[in-house]
Amino acid sequence: MEYRVERDSMGEVHVPADAYYGASTQRAVENFPISGRRFGRRFIAALGLIKGSAGEVAGREGHLSEDVADAIRRASDEVMDGALDNQFVLDIFQTGSGTSTNTNANEVIAGRAGELLGGEDGSRLVHPNDHVNFGQSSNDVIPTAIHIAAVGAIREDLIPALTTLVGSLEAKSAQFEDVVKSGRTHLMDATPVTLGQEFGGWAAQVRKGIERLEKVLPELEELALGGTAVGTGINAPSGFAAAVIALMAERTGFNLREAENHFEAQGAKDAVVMASGALKTIAVSLFKIANDIRFLGSGPTSGLAEIRIPDLQPGSSIMPGKVNPVMSEMVMQVAAQVVGHDTTITWCGATGNFELNVMMPVMAQDLLESVALLAKASTLFATKCVDGIEVNSGRVRELVERNAVIVTALNPYIGYDNGARIVKEAAATGRTVRELVVESGLMSEDELDAALDLKKMTEGGIT
């Protein structure tokens, strides 16, 4: 590989000849060869948005020359569009403020902007600190980028994906509204429900997840930009951050605004912890739904087998014809990962010391990965599993008719104690509740016909 020599306050550094970045980024590359994991597209795009908007405002207000400001904006737009992603080379596990990545962005944009102005590599026609980082600090840029990236991912990816899943579940709820089946509590037989009611409950879980995200978004739309190093706003002109944020709000369509208190915004990451908590709740909901569907489709001969799940791929390398609930298992694994990310984010959120949190890069990575995983999993689960579910009517009818707990509907007529005796006898003999109640003389057949209406039992009240 060919190199060029760059110098910074610590001395000479060999930088790849074709890199837009400079000495500081290269030092971080060498210091943190940890995981090979780099920041994702949304986070890099957020950095480009911040730098480009800051450059534009700085030029408009006379803090930078028009040609430098324009070049910064053009280079930053390339960062936003992904054209320079290969220049963002740093590991997630780095300095806890994300200073290395902010510097990476500054150097890349400065290098490319200088090129746009006709300069050569390392010419410093555009300075990474004096120009690209004007009015900013890593300590307010990185938390701002986290928030903007998360808002975009939640609004544009996760909420639409969850809305798709809600639609699929609600469609099945309507399709199965008259399918009466055994309810289950404690994994044991309970009074009847409809399959439509079960799907409706799952749809409501996901819908509430969307509502929780919508409550989190205003917290994330409040930005740390303007606090600079420690929250005081040193080296940022008065009103500069507000103007940059207004421009970013215009460019994104998000309701972005400056933090009410910059010391809270930089010393704590409570909004990120709160957002992660909402994602964890959604993950728990999806786990429950996927697991229920997995059990209801278990079998086909020795499980519940009340529903048929779409066959997607062979399920065994040794057992011919075996098919597994792979989409449910995928969702359950995604949920486990998101819960793990939330644990990491929670712990990181607790490490805000005085005026700065020093665990931001991994918080950013895990929050955005959780959003991406949940979005992709929800869409695939809806289209490849839920949409194709069919009811196994014969099996549903068989199980509900053998369910002795339907005697609960007779409590107002024969009392709890008689009902308990009937259930135990039905379990011991294999006879039906109807047979035993009539035989015992507790009710007539006509009275039983009225009281043991399984569909009415799913509608509440006294049958």
97 catalytic per annotation: no
DSSP, residue by residue, 100-151: HHHHHHHHHHHHHHHHHTTPPTT--SS-IIIIITTT--HHHHHHHHHHHHHH
Choose one of 87, 108, 134: the last residue of a domain.
Answer: 134
Rounded CA separation 460/19 (Å)? 70
Averaged pLDDT of the chain:
96
Rounded CA separation 438/414 (Å)? 11
Annotate 430-457 with b (16+ C-beta within 10 A) or e (fewer).
Answer: eebbbebbeeeebbeeeebeebbebebb
Same domain, 330 and 217: yes
Rounded CA separation 14/25 (Å)? 11
Same domain, 431 and 387: no
For residue 123, report the phi and psi dihedrals to the nearest 5 degrees.
-75, -20
Looking at residue 5, what DSSP letter applies?
A: E
Question: Looking at the domain assignment, is residue 438 inside a domain?
Answer: yes
Choose one of 96, 118, 134: the last residue of a domain.
Answer: 134
Give the tens place of pLDDT for each residue, 434-453: 899 999 999 999 999 888 89
DSSP, residue by residue, 276-289: HHHHHHHHHHHHHH
Same domain, 128 and 220: no
Check whether 123 has a pLDDT greater than 80: no
Same domain, 161 and 241: yes
pLDDT bracket for residue 428 (50, 70, 90): very high
Strands 222-223 and 257-258: parallel
How many CB atoms sit inside 10 A of residue 366's CB?
23
Indicate which CATH number applies to the domain containing 407.
1.10.40.30
Give the tens place of pLDDT for each residue, 357-390: 999 999 999 999 999 999 999 999 999 999 999 9
Question: Looking at the domain assignment, is residue 222 inside a domain?
Answer: yes
For the record, the structure tokens of 409 come out as 């509907």
pTM, rounded to two decimals: 0.96
User: How many distinct structural domains can be found in the chain?
Assistant: 3
Same domain, 189 and 49: no
Residue pair 458/180 in contact (Cβ under 8 Å)? The answer is: yes
| Amino acid (1-letter code) at residue 319 | M
| Amino acid (1-letter code) at residue 303 | G
Rounded CA separation 219/217 (Å)? 5
For the record, the structure tokens of 323 come out as 């098919």
Residue pair 50/146 in contact (Cβ under 8 Å)? The answer is: no
Choose one of 99, 134, 169: the last residue of a domain.
Answer: 134
DSSP, residue by residue, 290-305: HHHHHHHT--SSSS--
Which of these is catalytic: 35, 316, 393, 444?
A: 316
Indicate which CATH number applies to the domain containing 177.
1.20.200.10
Give the tens place of pLDDT for each residue, 225-252: 999 999 999 999 999 999 999 999 999 9
Give the tens place of pLDDT for each residue, 8-30: 889 999 999 999 999 999 999 99
131 catalytic per annotation: no
Same domain, 103 and 65: yes
For residue 183, report the phi and psi dihedrals to the nearest 5 degrees.
-80, 165
Indicate which CATH number applies to the domain containing 32.
1.10.275.10
Rounded CA separation 449/463 (Å)? 10
Same domain, 435 and 314: no
pLDDT score recorded for residue 121: 66
pLDDT score recorded for residue 69: 98
Same domain, 364 and 417: no
Which of these is catalytic: 9, 186, 238, 317?
A: 186
Check whether 463 has a pLDDT greater than 80: no
Same domain, 173 and 250: yes
pLDDT score recorded for residue 321: 93
Question: Looking at the domain assignment, is residue 463 inside a domain?
Answer: no
Same domain, 371 and 319: yes
pLDDT score recorded for residue 224: 98
Helix (H) or strand (E) holding 6: strand 3-8
Q: Which domain holds residue 183?
A: 140-394
Same domain, 145 and 252: yes
- Mean pLDDT, residues 40-69 taken together: 98
Same domain, 301 and 182: yes
How many CB atoms sit inside 10 A of residue 160's CB?
15
Question: Looking at the domain assignment, is residue 462 inside a domain?
Answer: no
